[in-house]
Amino acid sequence: MNSQQAWGADMAADASEGMVRIRDAAIELFGERGVAGTSLKSIAEHAGVSQGLVIHHFGSKAGLHRACDEHVVALIRVGKEQVVAKGPGMNPLSGLNLFEEGRPLLRYLVRTLSEGGEHIDRLVDDMVADAEAYMAEGERMGSIRPSATPRERVVVLVLWSLGALVLHEQLNRLLDVDFLSPSNDPRDIAPYFGPALELFSHGLLTEGAYSELAAVFAAPTDEQEPS
């Protein structure tokens, strides 16, 4: 590598580092104050860069917001894939540990989902697509049961999870679980994850009750005309 190539590589590395600092600062402040309540100036100050550099890299606050969405979705996907890849022998606390490491991401999701906006459709679509992939891998590894309606199941699970984030204040009121708490102990969220794991692993309905309800929603066969 000649001196000009080395200089170019250093410049690219500096630019990449600056973008990461800006993005991480935005995720933190968006999570604390909301997107509407966070200015580009405050993000630049938090990242230790100029506001002009934020504009240079991301174009606008909307562009920066999109970059934050993409990064958060990617981190959630990687975390889920790591848990699912362990198969039936996965550590039940590994999900909680990932949850704890991702508290800034959860704060960001809570704020951005609560504020809404056109970007939410893309955010949810990306999460559903990722969930389809790692749920299919979980089936292959033997840790997740197959489903007759795999995509619909994924959509329901993603929306349930995001709904719990949006209603985090009610979760805190009723179960004393605070998704936004700075607590370092992942077991603080056990009152939420315990029942969730019970539902996922043991189910809710008895076999007889499930069969009766499933029959109501089953699609009619060729021999059975809908009433």
State how far the Cα of 51 lies from the Cα of 222, in Å rounded to an integer: 64
Yes or no: say if 152 and 160 are a contact pair by the CB < 8 Å rule.
no
Yes or no: say if 68 and 23 are a contact pair by the CB < 8 Å rule.
yes
What pLDDT digit, counting tens, does each position of 73-102 carry?
A: 888 888 777 767 766 554 444 444 445 556
Yes or no: say if 182 and 105 are a contact pair by the CB < 8 Å rule.
no
- Averaged pLDDT for residues 24-47: 93
25 and 90 share a domain? no
Yes or no: say if 168 and 179 are a contact pair by the CB < 8 Å rule.
yes
Which tokens belong to 15? 């630019």
Which tokens belong to 99? 């949850």
What is the extent of the structural domain holding 24? 1-59
82 and 29 share a domain? no
State how far the Cα of 90 lies from the Cα of 76, in Å rounded to an integer: 17
Residue 219's pLDDT band (boundaries 50, 70, 90)?
A: low
Residue 35 belongs to domain with CATH number = 1.10.10.60
Residue 225 lies in a domain: no
Pick left, alpha or beta for residue 89 (phi over 0 → left; psi -120 to 50 → alpha; otherwise beta). Answer: alpha
Distances (CA, A) of 82 to 86, 90, 164: 7, 9, 23
Looking at per-residue pLDDT, the higher value among 170 and 117 belongs to 170
Yes or no: say if 165 and 135 are a contact pair by the CB < 8 Å rule.
no
- pLDDT at residue 93 in the model: 43
Residue 99 lies in a domain: yes
Looking at per-residue pLDDT, the higher value among 136 and 225 belongs to 136
pTM reported for the whole predicted model: 0.75
Yes or no: say if 62 and 40 are a contact pair by the CB < 8 Å rule.
no
State how far the Cα of 227 lies from the Cα of 218, in Å rounded to an integer: 13
128 and 163 share a domain? yes
191 and 86 share a domain? yes
* CA angle, 148 then 151 then 159, to 5°: 120
